[in-house]
Chains A and B, each alone.
Chain A
Amino acid sequence: QQRTVASPAPGNNRVAMATPGAAKPSTGVPSDAKALIKGTVSDEKGNGLPGATVSVKGTQIGTTTDINGAFSLNMPSGSKVLVISFIGMKTQEVEVGTRTTLNITLQTGDQSLDEVVVIGYGTAKRSDVTSSITTVKAADLKDIPAAGVDQLLQGKAAGVTVTSNGGQPGGGVSVKVRGVTSINSNDPLFVIDGVPFIGGNTSSSSGYAGLGGGDGQTGNSVMAMLNPNDIESIDVLKDASAQAIYGSQAANGVILVTTKKGKQGEGKINYEMYTGVSEVARRLDLMDLRDFARYQNEVLPIIGNPVADEFKNPDLLGPGTDWQEAMFQRGTINNHQLSFSGGRDKTTYYLSLNYFDNKGILLGSDFKRYASRFSLDSQLKTWVKVGLSANVSRSIQNVSLADAAEGTIWWGASTSPLTPVKNLDGTWGGGQTVGGVQYYGSNLVGNSQYRGNTKTTNNIFGSLYAEFQLLKDISFRNELSYSLGQDNNVAFQKAGNVGSTSFRSKLIDSRSDSYYWSLTNYLSYNKYVKKHGIQATLGHQAQNSYYQSISGTKVDLQANIFDLSTGSADQTTWGLNGGKGQWAMESYFARANYTYDDKYSLAASFRADGSSNFGPNNRWGYFPGVSAGWTVSNEKFMKGAIANVLSYTKLRVGYGMVGNQNFPGGAPNPAYVGAVQFFSGPVGFGSSNMINGIPNPNLKWESVRTTNAGVDLGFFNGRIDATIDVYKKVTSDMIIFLTGPNLIGVGDQWDDLKAPLGNAGQMTNTGIDVGITTTNIKRGNFTWRTNAVLTQFTNSYDRAASAASALDGKVYYNNYLITHTTPGRPVGSFWGLVTDGLYRTQAELDQSLPQFGYKVNETETWLGDIRYKDINGDKKIDAQDYTFIGSPLPKFSWGLTNSLNYGDFDFSLFLQGSQGAKAFNFLRWQLEGLSNAYTNQMRTVVDRYTESNTDGALPRFTTTNKNNTAMSDRYVEDASYARIQNITLGYRLPKTLLNRVKIQNLRVYGSIQNLKTFTNYSGYDPEIGAFNNSIKLMNVDTGHYPNPRTFTVGANLQF
């Protein structure tokens, strides 16, 4: 929430914050008027600046420029100098001399210092900030065709690691602020114009589990429902001294989003649009039918299975079905945004309408959004201001279940090219029997005609406020925020046949609705006395949320009508589920800032939260934060010549404590009483119940402490700005199920007697955030600016719940353990055997160690098999030799944006990348495991070990030696990448042309997203993200929905 800080008292040598309408126009014409001065104020490009302040130095006289940047002013006698200021520009003083007409060009200023930073329950000036906060402006995000603000932040904010979890339109995005904070959810708290989104940024859709078959990624982005074009700026609170004001909800970082508002002056109409197409950026080199036939001819005799006579002569065959071509399609993207804004008589308004439509590159995936935002602010009286805002959106998403074993991509890559899309008789292919063998595999084109998974979300959120100026320095704000949500998720299957599979028609219709409100009251005090500046805030907040859900299942729907009113009358086939929950929290918060002489600042904040999640013993949590800053460059000794080089220096330190109250999935809530659970269907003798867990009345807050030190530097008067922060963040008392060995009889699965929730374990992140902005060239009408961000952190899971417990991530119906984080390792670490080449000679076999009890012979360990390392040195290979084989976390990630302007042309190049992360390519396990004779494989399997190819790169084909397909570093790859994320070329049509058609401004542009990725990773896309945003499955590629390459053209119009 952006508010204006009252003008400083005269005599203060700060630069005044210029706001349109802040300076009063003169009322009368003094008799000793010397002259009427006219002029224009414009920017470097020559565009008139409307609303710039022009005042006469040393007087109360001044005016504001009009819509074209023109002004006129009576200059009293004796005055010589005009002061011209404008937000984001360097304030300029002009000697009038004898002139009566002045054309003033303002230079772009070192805006970062005068920037207003949103800090939670108020704002502060960048120059007063002593904690670690990163700000991103709308201008830095333009031209990127993304569904949500979360995706837009990628590579733009130091310390924020953003990975899209896949190319699914509207799909999940992992946003992590400063490493991995918790073993539960890591989603930061998004606060949009003061409305917090307390559920995190991941919403899930249903999978196909209820329909049978493989599931996929079902976690989607909550932020996709907010139209990114409405955003004005984003502030990320990164360290605990900044976050503490949000207390128990801030541990994963806080992202404050400020939307656009109307401004005083004539109404504006803006129309923005873009449209484009997208395609898959890379395909795997899979076998075609000829290769597949050759492969079968060679490997089937090894298993002793007959080779189909059809394959006797592979040269006669055609390419067969290209299932990659089948699953990928040409995507499209369209966005239209119309907004109206303006203000008069102390009232401003903003209204936008948005339509966004994105068809994904994978069959069956798309996302549509209809959104509208409205805000109104009015200065009713000099002492009271009121406002309201509302954001209404509806989104419809079709989810294609990829990113899991037996998901869409998995099938597309592994279905045999023999399987036809359609059979001779027009029926769908699949499960063909050829040569007496049935070739399984899902016909994903056929399936897409019969199955769907649609999520429709309606949401309204916004706020109402009133702000009273009680005294000159004290104001009081009363704010009510609200959010109403409604979800409808339908998974359905039509009756029909695809290949050898018969589908029974089925509908799973799940609906939920929720509301949230918060009531916040706080007092603000602002006072500047001589060199002292004091700001203080004191407040109270009450929050409450409620949700309820219901889900029904029916089969055998008449005429495939997807409505719960149809379907089989046999009640035993029905399914009905539901749930409810509520949460409430009460908080007190306080903050004080003190600055002295623009050199020294000190800030402290405190929040107390009482949450309904915890029992009476530990209900309240207390979260303090302190920080201090020293603006060295304002010291005398830094003035002089050095100031021409090092023009700005500020040192900052901070410490704070924040909390986390997220429970692991499936935890009973509240956790401090023994709950009785009932079942969704008949159990035992009919209706039954069970005791759902062991209460722990002492459960308390997960705690996160951050120590931060930072420096802000400016060189050559703002030609180069740099911000560097180092931090250490320790998470302890993590909320975790206290499970042990199964023999105790408690667990964390749905039908387990739930283990008590407890506080255990510790995790540490240390890192550096670097942000640099430079203006490289600024000559005439040519400018070149660069913005670089670097995010570096290391994570360590220091302690677990008990000596033996670890965090496990499994895939493929939970059958394969991929990640296993033991204390001391980064969270999400890959776990497996370490390979040591292949056995290529008899002599090597003679010296081999027994692997999982195998002997040396053709069915067990043999020539061409993988040799594993004996990690524990006990001269045998077994489960004890599984070890750490790589971390999914990058050593660092970076973003680099270059923007060039030349006259009416603008060009920007945005590169982004990640270095040092490993990925576990589980899809390759399927496509190169060399134990699958009947499913399609990568073409690389041709170079496998055989008697005639003893230096083959891959192991021999075998179905009897199971060790070759054990999880090992064979599947761990370097997922480092550098990507040309966006290239945009824009052109602003000349004014002279536009004025005739009443258009103020028209820019057209073309842009390419994800043009090229430089990587050694062999899968579809090295940017894998986390499966359903779980930290246990980061960078695990089980058939990842790749990020598309998108070509768009767009236009921005202003009337």
Chain B
Amino acid sequence: MKLNRKSIYALLVPALLLSACKEDFIERPSLSGTTTGNYYNNAEEVRAATSTLYSGLPWRNYESRAQDAIGDVMSGNMFTYTDTEYLNFSVSSASERIGAAWGAFYKIIGYSNVMIKTFEEKKAAGGDASYLDPAIAECHFIRGTLYFYIARTWGAAPIITDPGATALSGNFNIPRYLQKDVLRFALEELQAAEAGLPESDVPGRLTKYVAKGMMSKLYLYNKDYANAKAKAEEVINSGKYTLVSDYTGMFTKMSMNNNSESLFSIQHQFAQDPWGTGNIKNPDRGAGALRTSEADAWEMYVPSLDILKEYEFGDLRRRWSIMEHGWTNPSWKPQRANAPKYNAFMANGFKYDTLQPTEDGGSLSPTRSNITKYFAGPGKSFGGEPVLGQNSGNNVVLLRYADILLIYAEAILGSNASTSDAKALEAINRVRSRAGLTPRTSITLDDIMHERRVEFAFEGDYWYDIQRQGFTKAKAIIEKQNRGTTTNPTYVSNFTADKMFLPIPAGEIVQDPELGKEPVPYYK
């Protein structure tokens, strides 16, 4: 056929119409997300962001296992077959726990950094300071606390305040800064937090007094006794905190999350998703005899023989913290498939029994004991707190009022050999009296160290207590400890000054060779 010109044009018109799209055809915003540009416009949205900083989600790689290995295994409070390098001081820079703690700390610092930056930008764009400022102060507290942890764990360490700029620059040669500068940075962050945080808030949220409490701990670490005493006193005099009577409940009952003794806790939710929102310390501590289809329990960490010796007779904290032969919990009734003997043994409540065969419900941990703190039990169907596999819903407390009281007593003692100061005695005896012990009439540093060790056993703190005694005393403490099992007592003799701080993770030095060099000052 033959086409005339007209019909050609008639056909070309629709073709041309189709040949260009609208400008915004390829502008496709994210459907599942929201952007920093269009969000964070009210208190709720902003507080939901800082809420993440408290959660187990970013903290889990420190809190689960690294905290145990560094704080309690290395200090001789726990025995383990897993993290043996922390028992015998052969920690290498390739250690998984070091990498995990380092990663978690700097990750949370990254979160805080980007939030501070975003909220400052929001403020500059006219956002409401009444909710942006407290949120920024929360970020400062978190950042300060983490640098305090970092300074105590590694000594000299890098300080990062703008991750985005660093990442885009491609220059990763960041030096280590002197430990005293890292501590100073941490202190200044806490001071900023103290200034910006509210007098009070909902349970668990940070307030001025939490910042003061953390500062008192940092001052004490620096042996600045006057300031440590002053800050602890402000917390005590606020009247906002008390010692709870249910000591074990602080660690094992969801109903006691953010109780009146807790200043700062990692917030957990009873859920397995996202990973880390639940508390996953549960299986690492649970006695194998309590493993059920609901609750995992593989007793990776057990009390050391040495800490068993530390308790005074009659110290109620012993059975509040540790299961030993004869320990019972009548409301726990774990049951298992195809295990008639086990089920019969557990039918009338859990008995911790080291004579019963293990497959029939007995317990035979290497030190014949297990930890109760942060073990929520065999699961809800079996009379315990709810557990979902590895997850429980208990918060992990990082700073509590008993600590403030003992900091206060120690700050008064200062560098004296002993003290009978009434306020110091009152502070330490409040802690002792809850534990059912007789009051002290005079205290030495050894008394305080003993009290701190049993009060905060398995809470990840004792290593830093040993560390701040200085190398000579630390060595004496450590080499006296039995770090073995009931059948194989073990003592270490290789504790050298370089073991006071942990090595920087090997992978980090590969990517940032500056970390392998001498530290430099941060404050010029």
Find the A residue at minimum CB distance from B34.
A676
CA distance A746 to B21 in the complex (A): 38
CA distance A679 to B33 in the complex (A): 11
Chain A residues 632-686 with CB under 8 Å of chain B are: 668-670, 673-686
B103 within 8 A of A: yes
Flag if B106 contacts A689 (CB, 8 Å). no
Q: Chain A residues near B202 (CB, 8 Å)? A: 685
CA distance A756 to B58 in the complex (A): 19
Stretch of B162-170, B243-251, B368-376, B430-438 contacting A (4+ beta carbons < 8 Å): B162-170
CA distance A682 to B57 in the complex (A): 10
Find the B residue at minimum CB distance from A677.
B33
B39 within 8 A of A: yes
Stretch of A16-24, A483-491, A593-601, A735-743 contacting B (4+ beta carbons < 8 Å): A735-743
Flag if A383 contacts B51 (CB, 8 Å). no
Q: Chain A residues near B28 (CB, 8 Å)? A: 582-584, 612, 670
Q: Mark B159-186, 1 if CB is under 8 A from A, else 0.
A: 0100110111010101000000000000
CA distance A805 to B508 in the complex (A): 11
B contact residues, total (Cβ < 8 Å): 93
A427 within 8 A of B: yes
Given A689-B48, A804-B511, A745-B160 contact (CB < 8 Å) = yes
Flag if A519 contacts B18 (CB, 8 Å). yes
- The contact of B336 among A502, A504, A583, by CB within 8 Å, is A502
A1030 within 8 A of B: no
Q: Chain B residues near A586 (CB, 8 Å)? A: 21, 25-26
CA distance A679 to B338 in the complex (A): 39
Find the B residue at minimum CB distance from A750.
B274
Find the A residue at minimum CB distance from B96.
A815
Measured CB to CB, the closest approach of chain A to B82, in angstroms, equals 13
Flag if A688 contacts B49 (CB, 8 Å). yes
CA distance A478 to B16 in the complex (A): 11
CA distance A682 to B273 in the complex (A): 8
Given A478-B15, A745-B110, A669-B271 contact (CB < 8 Å) = no
Measured CB to CB, the closest approach of chain B to A685, in angstroms, equals 5
CA distance A504 to B15 in the complex (A): 61
CA distance A738 to B102 in the complex (A): 19
CA distance A478 to B167 in the complex (A): 47
Q: Chain B residues near A747 (CB, 8 Å)? A: 103, 107
Most buried by A among B40, B53, B54, B110: B110
Q: Chain B residues near A573 (CB, 8 Å)? A: 388
Flag if B94 contacts A879 (CB, 8 Å). yes
Q: Chain A residues near B359 (CB, 8 Å)? A: 433, 438
Q: Chain B residues near A676 (CB, 8 Å)? A: 33-36, 39-40, 49
Flag if A742 contacts B49 (CB, 8 Å). no
CA distance A751 to B3 in the complex (A): 64
Flag if B510 contacts A804 (CB, 8 Å). yes
A contact residues, total (Cβ < 8 Å): 89
Chain B residues 44-62 with CB under 8 Å of chain A are: 45, 47-49, 51-55, 57-58
Measured CB to CB, the closest approach of chain A to B519, in angstroms, equals 14
Chain A residues 408-433 with CB under 8 Å of chain B are: 427, 433
Chain A residues 364-382 with CB under 8 Å of chain B are: 381-382
CA distance A212 to B115 in the complex (A): 35
Q: Chain B residues near A685 (CB, 8 Å)? A: 47, 51, 54, 202, 204-205, 267
Most buried by B among A668, A679, A680: A679
B124 within 8 A of A: no
Flag if B274 contacts A383 (CB, 8 Å). no
- The contact of B271 among A382, A682, A696, by CB within 8 Å, is A682
- The contact of A684 among B37, B52, B118, B163, by CB within 8 Å, is B52
CA distance A463 to B225 in the complex (A): 80
Stretch of A155-163, A444-452, A468-476, A894-902 contacting B (4+ beta carbons < 8 Å): A468-476
CA distance A502 to B339 in the complex (A): 11
Flag if A581 contacts B31 (CB, 8 Å). yes
Find the A residue at minimum CB distance from B258.
A685
Flag if A753 contacts B107 (CB, 8 Å). yes
B20 within 8 A of A: yes
Given A470-B11, A673-B37, A676-B34, A743-B106 contact (CB < 8 Å) = yes
B151 within 8 A of A: no
Q: Chain B residues near A427 (CB, 8 Å)? A: 338
Given A572-B388, A575-B273, A740-B511, A684-B51 contact (CB < 8 Å) = yes
CA distance A504 to B168 in the complex (A): 47
- The contact of B168 among A553, A684, A696, by CB within 8 Å, is A696
- The contact of A742 among B8, B106, B276, B292, by CB within 8 Å, is B106
Q: Chain A residues near B277 (CB, 8 Å)? A: 679, 681-683
A690 within 8 A of B: yes
A497 within 8 A of B: yes
A752 within 8 A of B: yes
B456 within 8 A of A: no
Q: Mark A814-854, 1 if CB is under 8 A from B, else 0.
A: 00000000000000000000000000000000000000110
CA distance A502 to B382 in the complex (A): 15
Q: Chain B residues near A503 (CB, 8 Å)? A: 293
Find the B residue at minimum CB distance from A694.
B164
- The contact of B11 among A212, A476, A691, A753, by CB within 8 Å, is A476
A85 within 8 A of B: no
B113 within 8 A of A: yes
Q: Chain B residues near A497 (CB, 8 Å)? A: 337-338
Flag if B26 contacts A572 (CB, 8 Å). no
Q: Chain B residues near A582 (CB, 8 Å)? A: 28, 31
Chain A residues 573-619 with CB under 8 Å of chain B are: 573, 575, 577-586, 610-612, 619
Find the A residue at minimum CB distance from B104.
A742
CA distance A573 to B12 in the complex (A): 61
CA distance A521 to B338 in the complex (A): 69
Flag if A691 contacts B49 (CB, 8 Å). yes
Find the B residue at minimum CB distance from A804.
B511
Q: Chain A residues near B417 (CB, 8 Å)? A: none
CA distance A802 to B512 in the complex (A): 11
Q: Chain A residues near B115 (CB, 8 Å)? A: 691
B416 within 8 A of A: no
Q: Mark B342-361, 1 if CB is under 8 A from A, else 0.
A: 00000000000000000100
- The contact of A802 among B26, B35, B511, by CB within 8 Å, is B511
Flag if B110 contacts A683 (CB, 8 Å). no
B495 within 8 A of A: no
Q: Chain B residues near A247 (CB, 8 Å)? A: none
B386 within 8 A of A: yes
Measured CB to CB, the closest approach of chain B to A439, in angstroms, equals 13
Q: Chain B residues near A433 (CB, 8 Å)? A: 359
B114 within 8 A of A: yes
Given A476-B11, A689-B49, A612-B30 contact (CB < 8 Å) = no
Given A684-B55, A746-B163, A753-B49 contact (CB < 8 Å) = no
B270 within 8 A of A: yes
Sample of 4 more A-B contacts, CB < 8 Å, known A383-B3, A853-B92: A683-B52, A694-B163, A741-B512, A751-B276
Interface residue ranges, A against B (CB under 8 Å)? 212, 381-383, 427, 433, 438, 468, 470-471, 476, 478, 497, 502-504, 519, 521, 523, 540, 542, 544, 553, 572-573, 575, 577-586, 610-612, 619, 668-670, 673-692, 694, 696, 738-747, 750-753, 755-756, 758, 801-802, 804-805, 852-853, 879
